[in-house]
Structure 1
Amino acid sequence: MNQVRTTRIVSPLAKQLARPGGRTIADAQRLADAGLQRHRAGVMDDIEGLIGRLEALCAAATPEAQGRIYGLASDLVDLAGFFDTGPLYTAGYSLCDLSERMQTTGVWNWPAVEVHVKALRLIHAGGCREGAESDVLLQGLRSVLAAFTPD
């Protein structure tokens, strides 16, 4: 009868990981966060540009503009998610939700969209800080969003 033999193969990566030294997870995370923070100003400028484009779409208020709101709001949320933008992320997500509900129901309300875009502008201008002002803005956006709940 044949005997089964098990051979353990140790890869070069496993050998390298087993060696002492290197960075701790905390150090790696700290360095990654520091690297990400170097891009914050550029990303905030990009968010500024997206808000400007959303404002232009609101001013145009055309059917073509309706179709672009969700995409720009989604881009804003994607960028805001990389940093601690608190209320800005929440307001952007609310605009995405509102736009989707309006597209689904076929009922478009530009003033509701404008309220969201103006809230984004105010939150961005305020440094994306959480506080009483941003809480009031977000509560208002929740009220606007609640009015567009599909049946």
Structure 2
Amino acid sequence: MFIPTVHSEHCTGCGKCENACVTEEASIRVLPAPLIKGSLGEHYRLGWEEKRKAGGRSLVEERGIVDLPDRLPEGMKLDGHFDPGSERLPAGMPGSSEAQVLPSLPPGLGATAPTGNGGATAAAKGAGGRTLPMEAGR
């Protein structure tokens, strides 16, 4: 039985064995080098190449990407970064007051009661000053 064998350590990819194969249809196929080698997908981009094409400017900074809070393991702190799950809100942010009154809550759950709506105002005034416990801000 004839079994064509290619020794990969000696193969140069020239295709002579495919052309010289004695079987009716060639048992060995040699594919074109670019097809074997493969290439990076058309949709992938190399950041440093794109930056060079743009004249050295960063392509990301101009898009207004939002800097999201960092999530760190409990107890770990990173200088200059805010982790909303492990510490109090920075001053000036909604909900950062000592009482932890959240402005997005309806009257009776921590927000102030609206004025000028008749009987509903009187009912809401008693509940309008409620605050959330410290744990609710986490």
Shorter-chain TM-score: what band?
A: under 0.3
Length-normalised TM-score, structure 1: 0.20
Length-normalised TM-score, structure 2: 0.22
Which structure would you say has the larger Rg? 2
Relative to its length, the structure with more helix (as a share) is: 1
Q: Work out which structure has the larger RCO, using CA pairs closer than 8 Å and 6 or more positions apart in sequence.
A: 1
